[in-house]
Structure 1
Amino acid sequence: MTSAPAIGFEYRPSRWLRRTLVLVAALALLAVALSALPMWLKLLLAVLVLLATWHALRRLAAGPVVAAGWGADDAWTLRMRNHDDMAATLASSRVLGAFVLLRLRTAERGMQVLLLAPDNSDADIRRRLRMRLATIQPGEALPRL
């Protein structure tokens, strides 16, 4: 059997994920506002929701990975924002419809999570990744999310 070709792609965080996060935060604020809690507790919970949302959006925007590649020899390489290339191993993966979620472990930076969605990646890249991820043998089974 011939080896699978290398797959490489640039990565940026999904705008859909950010928008969904903001929508969920807005719904949480609405739920707090409509609850029968005392006003001081409503204000406290609203501030907590806003801080958590702000923190999550900052973490998404400051993601260190700008590109990734999966070589024919099953080795992963991550290109970081500071232009360093880092070796990584695939810890787990999940295909959710048109989305591909990858968890890659690096020695220097720990776990890096990449969400490939229709708004931040090419459909052909996601298709090739899905096909190649499906070829992983059960003996090489990765822990699924």
Structure 2
Amino acid sequence: MTSAPAIGFEYRPSHWLSGVLLAVASLAALALWLGAISIMLKVVLSAVLALAVVRTLLRFSRSSIVAAGWSHHAGWSLRTVDGEDKRASLHAFRAAGEQVVWLHLVAAGLGPVSLLLAPDNSDADIRRRLRMRLALASQPKDKEPGHSAG
């Protein structure tokens, strides 16, 4: 896999995340209002929930990243809205079926960066190639073909 070409993609925040967040927050508010607590506590907790939702939506909708790339030799790089390229390292990733890949990267000067790749902001082929490469990269060395455990 060392000769595999680099993967690069433009990035914009996904609207799927906003939809999921609003659905979960709505269920939380419904549970809060159906609970047996005082009306004053319901109002206060609803306000806290609303503030948390707004803060999270703003955080994920204002990405300073416009593109990302990964090659076997150079690792991860992120392009910011200023046109700067920053080296990054993959901290963790999650793949949810064939539709979603969530990358957690750390870059000098940017800190932790989360990129959600979903059908509304990325190509299916990019997500497929990323899932395959991430799965191969996360395998222990003794699990690679041609290696024996003994």
The TM-score with structure 2 as length reference comes to: 0.86
Kindly indicate whether the alpha-carbon contact (under 8 Å) linking 1:4 and 1:132 is maintained by their aligned counterparts in 2. Answer: no
The answer to whether 1:21 aligns with 2:21 is yes
Cα distance in 2, alignment partners of residues 117 and 42 from structure 1: 34
1:90-109 alignment runs, 5 A limit? 90-98=90-98, 99-109=100-110
Aligned ranges 1:1-145 → 2 under 5 Å: 3-98=3-98, 99-136=100-137, 137-139=139-141
Length-normalised TM-score, structure 1: 0.88
Deviations 1:54-87 (A, max 9, x none): 0000101112111101124142110112221101
- Code of the residue aligned with 1:116 in structure 2: it is L
In the TM superposition, residue 2 of structure 1 has moved relative to its aligned partner by 5.3
Q: What root-mean-square deviation, in Å, do the aligned CA atoms of Structure 1 and Structure 2 show?
A: 1.7
Q: Tell me by how many angstroms 1:13 deviates.
A: 1.5
Q: Is the 8 A contact 2:6 2:69 kept in 1?
A: yes
SS in 2 for 1:28: helix
Structure 2: segments with no counterpart, 5+ residues: 142-150
Q: How many residues align?
A: 140
**Which ranges of structure 1 fall in alignment gaps of 5 or more residues?**
140-145
Tell me by how many angstroms 1:104 deviates.
1.2
Q: State the identity as a percent.
A: 53
- Deviation at 1:37? 0.9
Specify the code of the residue in structure 1 equivalent to 2:117: L
* Rg (Cα) greater in structure: 2
Q: Structure 1 runs of 4+ off > 6 angstroms? A: none
